[in-house]
Chain A
Amino acid sequence: MSEENNTMISVPIRTYEESIRLTERLLEVTEPGVVFSKPTKSGEYTLITASEIMVGLGSGYGYGISEPGERSDTETAKPMPPAGSGGGGGGGGMSSGRPVAVVSVGPEGVQVHPVLDRTKLGIALLSAVGSMLFAIGRMKKGR
């Protein structure tokens, strides 16, 4: 491969390595300190919310280089396409947070109250019941 092509490849690879470093730095932002909220006072009680936090990032890229074809001696042969190159990349990310429990400090002492995500449980229950009904229906058809 020519010197020029090597230079062309080395640029995206260097950028890609930089993107990995950037990804690691972005993920470092999700410090464990954000799991517990700052204490809030309400009368005799001090409340702290404990949440789970998830952050995900992904990226990908691709490139290609075509070398020029060799010239044919025959006149009837089709002309070979010229050398070319192309590339592209993309990335995406997600983050989610959900309260897990509330820690309360009051006259009764320290208590941990779990927080139930009813929407999540409801959707999961509907999916489970749906899949069960589907399985029963298929079984009845099979008889």
Chain B
Amino acid sequence: MPGIKIKTHMSAPIDAGEITLLPISQSIHWIEKKFGLVWNRPYAIRVEHNQSTYQLPIRDMTRVYLILLWGLTAIFSLVFVSAKPNRRSK
């Protein structure tokens, strides 16, 4: 079916001694008539230990830094464009 879909998946639990890990991933499906794109990314990991459960988020630091860099470049460009002095007419 064409369109964009965002899904959250839970993979099979992983036993590491007394700790059980439950990996959670997110996928974006964009399927149109002439093309399709699927992007799977890790979302978080759920930890079960001694009857307590908590979730650790997985952050893509490369993407965070890239967005920061693009943002800085955009701000820099905007500042330079706005700071350009107007030419005086003779």
Contact A27 B40 (CB under 8 A): no
The answer, yes or no, to whether A9 is at the interface (CB within 8 Å) is no
Checking A57, A60, A139 against B80 with a beta-carbon cut-off of 8 angstroms, the contacting residue is A139
Q: Enumerate 15 A-B pairs (CB-CB under 8 Å) in ascending A order.
A: A20-B33, A24-B31, A26-B36, A32-B25, A35-B40, A36-B11, A39-B14, A52-B39, A52-B41, A100-B42, A100-B58, A116-B62, A124-B70, A135-B76, A135-B81
Checking B35, B49, B76 against A58 with a beta-carbon cut-off of 8 angstroms, the contacting residue is B35
Distance of B14 from chain A, by nearest CB (Å): 5
Apart from A48-B21, A110-B56, list 17 A-B contacts with CB within 8 A: A23-B36, A26-B36, A27-B36, A34-B40, A36-B42, A39-B16, A48-B45, A50-B42, A52-B40, A58-B36, A100-B41, A103-B45, A103-B58, A110-B45, A114-B61, A128-B70, A132-B76
**Residues of B in contact, count (CB < 8 Å):** 46
Counting chain B CB atoms within 10 Å of each CB, which of A23, A27, A35, A132 scores highest? A35
Q: How far is the CA of A56 from the CA of B39 in the complex (A)?
A: 9
Question: What size tier do the contact residues of chain A reach?
Answer: 35 or more
Question: Which residues 18-59 of A have a CB within 8 angstroms of B?
Answer: 20, 23-24, 26-27, 30, 32-36, 39, 46, 48, 50-59
**Interfacial chain B residues near A27, Cβ < 8 Å:** 29, 31, 36-38
Contact B58 A136 (CB under 8 A): no
Checking B11, B17, B34, B58 against A32 with a beta-carbon cut-off of 8 angstroms, the contacting residue is B11
What residues make up the interface of B, taking CB atoms closer than 8 Å to A?
A: 7, 9, 11-12, 14, 16-17, 19, 21, 23, 25, 27, 29, 31, 33-42, 45, 47, 49, 56-62, 65-66, 69-70, 72-73, 76-77, 80-81, 84-85
